[in-house]
Structure 1
Amino acid sequence: MQFSRLFYVIFLVTLSFSSNAQGLFKKKDSIVTKTLSQSWELEKKDKNGTFKLNSYKPFYVMPVHWSNRINKQPQSVGGEPVFDEPLELHSTEVKFQISFKTKVLQSFLFGKGDIWVGYTQVAHWQVYNQKLSRPFRELNYEPELIAVYPLNFSFFGVKAKMIGLGFNHQSNGRPDPISRSWNRLMAHFAIERNDFQLYLKPWIRLDGGTADDDNPEIEDYLGRAEANVIYRKNGHSLDLVVRNSLKFNDNHGSVQFNYMYPIKNNLRGHLQLFSGYGENLIDYNHYQTTVGLGISFVEW
């Protein structure tokens, strides 16, 4: 069974155990699980003002991150290989991600809307590769601007909590021929039920189809939409991210599964599984399966 099929099975199982989850995880009194309203300050009682740093995406360090098919000869669709010879890369490296957001404008639309600035950085570091002088294989920078408006209605026991629109830039900050970057206009929609949260993010690429495109057809590999299912309970977190190109013919995408479990205080163990295209920008059209193990930090 391919890893991608395995992750879809995990996705279905995760959704099915919500009624039994109360006794699944041992309680950690020191860890508080945030609701959608608390994470995005959607209700008046959760408002905390502007320019205060908040957690965004998972913040983690993985000393062990293994790929079954590490990209030793990156190239864009329709382009020539970047290097004359394949790089002597190790299949095991270090991966880490930092991510935070801050509100820059509060209560701007009918007294309810907010504007956030977010920043995420992901690093793939060949720290065990002494022969190549331990380089950073890939660094991805992702600033974004997001306008959020709270929702307050329910359907079939599910609460719609927010809708939004954002501008997202992602780049690896490198010169040609290994430069990778793109800009997206992203819609945001989030719902919640008990300890489950679901984010839906479709997007439109703003800078594709030009003669100097760094990564042609990136939306056909990295995707045109993302669904993020999150289950949090007593410090444990199951996080499933599915991206898809939304093409009926020649469909591509990826699945990433994260499990974070309490160790001590705000420190958690972190297991990550990925299968598909676009784990990072240099690999946007490269298929691989990866496994990562490390630590992450509780949302603040």
Structure 2
Amino acid sequence: MKYPQFLFFACFIMLCSHVVAQSVTKYPTLAEAWQLDSTSRSKQVEFRLLPYKPVYILFANYTTNVNHSPASSNENNVVEEPIPYNNVELAFQISFKTKILHNILGEKLGGDVWGAYTQSSRWQIYNNTLSRPFRETNYQPEAFLLFGTPYNIGNFKGVFTGFGLNHQSNGRSNPLSRSWNRIIFQAGWEVNNVQIVLKPWIRLPEAEKNDDNPDINDFMGRAELDLSYAFGKHDFQLVTRHSLRDGDKSHGSARLDYSYRFIKNLKIHAQVFTGYGESLIDYNHNQTTVGVGISLY
């Protein structure tokens, strides 16, 4: 393992440990996760790192269809010479959030400003031919405003609505550069132990000649539906995306995560993804991946 890669991986582990050390073994409700219930709001602290999206390491992540020649509809972003990637790699993700401002519209109207960061990597650690490179890393900072919307219709419970800005890129140069910026709207509900979060978005336009991936909405979608369910030591999460178009622009994806808690916050983790956009470099590439590893929250 090269020294820079080792240092990067060590920093990843230390940051993950810091974030999850603040979590508890009980699976939080959406209101607790976003400090919208009365107990959480009384204890809220700005600028404290908290868990956001799943934090995991998949020691073996297998794909049915290796993307040897990443391409985009922008002619400047097409790889001409196939790259000899392996179909098994290591994948990991780190993600955290922090509250920046509390009740910006006052106690009655509320409104909390949050910042978040998610980074996911695909590492060809088993590929001796290419000297074990990082195949793809996606960086995703975001900021958003959330409002509590408590109401009940039978077992259907409203929790929050909000909107924010999201940037996602892989930090690479052409022909491998991929990126987009979005305004994301979101709403969260709970039905018994099922958590539901809906996120439609609008992509912010870019100059045509500078757009790494002009058709990304038709593959990575225009909306996302996130369903989470937990019982005992078992956690399930299903995330689906779709382009919301028909015909040859109808594309989508689904990702299922399952984890089993066996030592406090340490879990056995399995993940299955199918469809388009497993990562930004694969935004228009259709594949199914299966991974196994551990997660920390």
Q: TM-score, normalised by structure 2?
A: 0.88
Residue of structure 2 in register with 1:274 after alignment: 273
What letter matches 2:102 in structure 1?
Answer: Q
1:79-158 alignment to 2 at 5 Å? 79=75, 82-111=78-107, 112-158=110-156
> How far apart are the structure 1 equivalents of 2:252 and 2:78?
23
1:39-78 alignment to 2 at 5 Å? 39-47=33-41, 48-77=44-73
Residue of structure 2 in register with 1:3 after alignment: none
Please give the secondary structure, in 2, of the residue aligned with 1:285.
coil
Cα distance, 1:80 vs structure 2: 6.6
Give 4+ residue runs of structure 1 displaced > 3 Å after superposition. 80-84
> How far apart are the structure 2 equivalents of 1:190 and 1:80?
39
> How far apart are the structure 2 equivalents of 1:188 and 1:52?
22
What letter matches 1:45 in structure 2?
Answer: T
| Aligned match for 2:32, one of 38, 46, 50 | 38
- After superposition, the Cα gap between the structure-2 partners of 1:41 and 1:68, relative to the gap in structure 1 and judged at 3 Å, is same
Indicate conservation of the 8 Å contact 1:261/1:269, yes or no: yes
| Aligned match for 1:221, one of 208, 219, 224 | 219
> How far apart are the structure 2 equivalents of 1:37 and 1:248?
36
Residue of structure 2 in register with 1:16 after alignment: none
Cα distance, 1:78 vs structure 2: 5.3
Q: Which runs of 5+ in 1 are unaligned?
A: 1-29
Cα distance, 1:57 vs structure 2: 0.3
> How far apart are the structure 2 equivalents of 1:78 and 1:122?
24
> How far apart are the structure 1 equivalents of 2:271 and 2:165?
27
> How far apart are the structure 2 equivalents of 1:109 and 1:259?
38
Cα distance, 1:208 vs structure 2: 4.3
Equivalent residues, number = 269
Indicate conservation of the 8 Å contact 2:219/2:251, yes or no: yes
Q: TM-score, normalised by structure 1?
A: 0.87
Cα distance, 1:82 vs structure 2: 3.3
Matched, 1:200 2:198: yes
Matched, 1:247 2:245: yes
> How far apart are the structure 2 equivalents of 1:79 and 1:68?
26
Identity across matched positions, percent? 45
Write the deviation string for residues 183-241 of structure 1: whole angstroms up to 9, x where unpaired.
00000100012211000000000024622210111000000000000001223111000
> How far apart are the structure 1 equivalents of 2:114 and 2:288?
33
Indicate conservation of the 8 Å contact 1:231/1:239, yes or no: yes
Indicate conservation of the 8 Å contact 1:275/1:290, yes or no: yes
Cα distance, 1:83 vs structure 2: 3.2
CA RMSD of aligned residues (A): 1.3
